[in-house]
Each structure stands twice: as C-alpha cells, then as structure tokens.
Amino acid sequence: MSSIAVIPGDGIGSEVIESARAVLDAVAAKHQIDLSYTEFDWSCQRYEREGAMMPDDGIETLSGFDAILLGAVGWPGVPDHVSLWGLLIPIRRAFRQYVNLRPIKVFDGVDSPLRQARDVDFVVVRENVEGEYSEIGGRLNRGFPDEMAVQESVFTRVGVSRIADFAFELARKRRGYVTSATKSNGIVHTLPFWDEVVAERARQFPDVRLDSEHIDALAAKFVLQPQRFDVVVGSNLFGDILSDLAAAVAGSIGIAPSANLDPTKQYPSMFEPVHGSAPDIAGQGIANPAGAVWSAALMLEHLGHLQAAAEVLAAMESTLADPQTRTADLGGTASTADVTKALVTHVTSAR
C-alpha cells in the first residue's frame, strides 16, 4: 500500500484535487493498486486563523507518507512569500526534493500561441533546493535613503552534480540531448562553477549530447524553436522561469504538472499542478483539473505504477482533444465535473 498525504490548499486546489483523486481511484481499482489518503487543511486560511501555514510538527507528520499530493496555495491578503516559505519550500528542503520536474507537451485541443508547435515535447529539470533561492542575506538601514538588501546564491558541487546526473539519465531514456541554462558571461562565480560541474558530469554520459545556452538566448529559442529541446536543466531561478515560459509555449499553464522529487525515495516526493489557487473562479466548478491529474500520473509513475500512469496520461490526451470536455480556459464550456467524468470513463475503458 502507498500512503498519500493530500494538501488541497487554497481556492481551486480542493476542486482539482477532488478530480485527481477520482481519476486515481478509478485507475487504482482497475489495476488493484492500494492507495490510502490522509488530508491536511494546511493553507492560507489556516495561516489567517493560526499564524502558520502548517503546524510545528508538519514536516514530521509528512515524513511517514510515500508521497504528497498538493492542490494550490495562495490567497489575497496573504503575501506570496508567506505561502512559499511557510509550506512549499520547507517541504522541498526537508525531504531533499532536489529535482523539480516539469514535462512540457502540446496536446490536441490546446492551442499554442506559436504557429508551429505540434511537435513540442520536452522536460525542464530545475534544481529545487539551493541556487538563487537561499535564505542567506538581509537588509540594512531600513527606511533610510541608503537602505540596501543583499541576497546570496548557493551552488554546491553535490547539488549541481546530482541535478546534472538526473538530467543526463533522463535524457538517456528520451532523445539523448541535454541543454544547460547558464549566464556565465555575466554572473562570474556561481554560473561558471555550474558550467564546469555540468561539463564534468557530462563526461560520464558520452552517449548524451550537451549544449550550454545563455538564459536570454535560451528563452528566445523556447519561443522560436521549442521543438529542438529534449531535456533542459537549470538552476533554481532559471529553471523556475523557463518552466513557466515552456508551459505558456505549450498553450496553458492550467494543464502543466510538476513533481518535486527525492529520486532516492528516502523521503516523500510532492506532486502539484503549476497553476495557482485562482480565487476569482474558486467555488464555481469550472477549474481545469488537467494539471492536477497529470501531476497524479507523475506520482503513480514515481511509485512504480507505470502502466496506470500511462493510462491516466492517455485519458487526459483524449479528454483535451474532445471539444465537449474542455474547460473555459481552453475555450470550452465543460465544468470540472464534466472533465472528471470523461477522464474516469477513458481510464476505465482503456485496454
């Protein structure tokens, strides 16, 4: 049995998680997969009530689970850094989720803003626990004209090596091509170090091609030539920006999934859709659950249920391709419940 901690979070989080669980239940019953769920009400609403996104023993509580399925966090009146540093980042770091995996694909029924994007199918691998998103720094002379802020980046040989290795190993299973995001011509200490370590690790994977691209040129190529990419690896900041850009290239952040992985499986990994809590549509039953469902498929894959994961992804492709089961963000009129019903039907009927 696999134990899943469920954190619906805020806004549409509970709606899309309900959909994902319905699909998980359907595929689990079909393949005789035993999944157990425990739900936690950790959210911005909890922060407003109790002054914290999760309890003091939250990390200890989660440590006993095999995976974490999260909906969305964020709410008007609660600063974004509170929800990020009060819930998501502590989970990622405590459980050594050093890989943020963001698959990008253009599906039938999802219109890319680009004229030619049919063959886009790549993965952004983001370093998830160090880099530019550190807690080292501070502010001086608050309120005075000479007020200043300092933020330090942290790049370690261990951290860069393991994210590079993950990217190369993933590329071996795909088309054998890694693109490394850098800006070593302007950031003169950390990113030359990144380049050196990535190049060192590349020598252990002679069957995988490596290119290094400066982040500004790489962003342009995401728009102009997205089909050329296979696996793109970047630091915490660069990977964060590139993965959202890539989701937009694919046509909708609303369908994009993410996996925060501890590849060793010593600790639980966390799976969540990329979209936010969308308070403007919360409670209306019109949220697109595709991102949460795809994230659930990534969770199944991580737990070793490869056939079940493939069937969930195939069901999502079929549902997106049908104009009758597209939500408003994709130009349709289907409700969350309509999409969920279609997904469950596709999963149960797949052979």
What is the architecture, at CATH level 2, of domain 112-250?
3-Layer(aba) Sandwich (3.40)
Active-site positions read: 133, 183, 216, 240, 244
Residues of the chain with pLDDT under 70: 115-117
Cα(340)–Cα(20) distance, integer angstroms: 8
Q: Range(s) for CATH 3.40.718.10 in the chain?
A: 1-102+255-351, 112-250
Residue 195: predicted pLDDT: 98
Residue 108: predicted pLDDT: 84
Helix axes 13-31, 306-321, angle to 10 degrees: 130
Phi and psi at 22, nearest 5°, equal -65, -40
What single-letter amino acid sits at 152? E
The two structure tokens encoding residue 247: 């989701």
Cα(9)–Cα(7) distance, integer angstroms: 5
Residue 110: predicted pLDDT: 82
CATH topology of domain 1-102+255-351: Isopropylmalate Dehydrogenase (3.40.718)
Residue 281: predicted pLDDT: 94
Residue 249: predicted pLDDT: 87
Please write the tens of the pLDDT for every residue from 258-299: 999 999 999 999 999 999 999 999 999 999 999 999 999 999
Please write the tens of the pLDDT for every residue from 71-116: 999 999 999 999 999 999 999 999 999 999 999 998 888 877 776 6
Burial (0-12, 13-18, 19+ Cβ within 10 Å), 152? exposed
